[in-house]
Amino acid sequence: MLKKEAFGTTPDGKAVELYTLTNTHGIEVRVMTYGGIVVSVKTPDKNGHFADITLGFDSLAGYLVKNPFFGALVGRYGNRIGKAKFSLDGKEYKLAMNNGPNALHGGLKGFDKVVWQAQPFEKGAEVGLILKYTSVGGEEGYPGTLHVTVTYTLNDKNEFSIDYHATTDKATPVNLTNHTYFNLVGEGSGNILGEELTLNADHFTPVDSTLIPTGKIASVQGTPLDFTKPFAIGARINDKDEQLGFGGGYDHNFVINRKRPGLVMAGRAYDHVTGRVLEVDTTEPGVQFYTGNFLDGVHGKHGHVYNKRDAFCLETQHYPDSPNQPNFPSTILRPGQTYHSTTVWKFSTR
């Protein structure tokens, strides 16, 4: 089932639409055209009781004022680029410093702050939304005009897929992701430290004090970043560890174990109280695990206040700062090539 409604107007007068996608099991995902933002995700617990498991705001106004990327489509480059600059084909490009000395999540007006064109669809047991945006050359300092299409699809297997495509007329870095904040008990229910996480990652990319990768690929073995077996998120989050100190908790890119191309599991979260399970599969080489360390009393939905560690993110991606790290998988898209990435959220209970 698909429903469309008005969801306000941006300061420059653009109308924003809200689409509600619902499958036959009652799972509901709401998406708005501003920022391609996932506004809510309602899923049942083990007793069949539904709750919204994503952080956000009740109205467009909240997203316009102080939004720490709740539910956002992030681009042109998700995560950080060191010192807000990179060189490509012999030319240096400078970006906005919007995260200390670094560039973060596409800049001052990234893909999360523009209105996307939307085309809803219903196809058999699937319901979805095709979103399109053209990022002109020079936008936020990036070269090349980038044509982006993102397709959101909800099916009756209780899977929500995000399919990204992009083409360019000039070489440019591209790293698209979604920044939804999850709390499997329900948004506004407190911290996520008791939720259990498994990451399909034997390695991670260590960072410096500004959260830029050092360039090394390090083993998680023997560190608090080892989630190769299920661990409560909060079990080691306050350990005396340099990497946790830099991030104020977990805010790290994990290198997904991959023996083949295509979709593989990046991570799985489980809440013992509600029985909810979220599995994230992706074609990407990395996943940023973030524990909401910078949430500082954000006033969200239904009068709830979101504080530090009240949610987690599993942002599928290429590695941070890849344009400046020659040993990382390349994020450079060139004319004639097509950027394609898929991530699937799988909802279940046990």
What residues are labeled active site? 179, 315
**Sign of torsion, CA 122 126 127 132?**
negative
234/332 Cα distance (integer angstroms): 36
151 touches 76 (CB < 8 A): no
Rg (CA), the chain: 19
Place of tokens 């107007």: 9
235/231 Cα distance (integer angstroms): 7
Helix or strand run (H / E) with residue 22? strand 15-22
104 touches 98 (CB < 8 A): yes
Task: Look up residue 330 and give its two tokens.
Answer: 């390349």
Bridge partners (DSSP) of residue 246 are: none
DSSP string covering 5-69? EEEEE-TTS-EEEEEEEE-TT--EEEEESBTT-EEEEEEE-TTS-EEE-B---SSHHHHHHS-S-
Helix or strand run (H / E) with residue 298? strand 296-299
CA distances (Å), origin 6, targets 17, 33, 295: 5, 10, 29
Task: Look up residue 56 and give its two tokens.
Answer: 């956000």
139 touches 104 (CB < 8 A): no
CA distances (Å), origin 229, targets 31, 72, 192, 232, 263: 33, 29, 18, 10, 20
252/207 Cα distance (integer angstroms): 8
120/315 Cα distance (integer angstroms): 24
Burial class (CB in 10 A: 0-12, 13-18, 19+), 235: middle
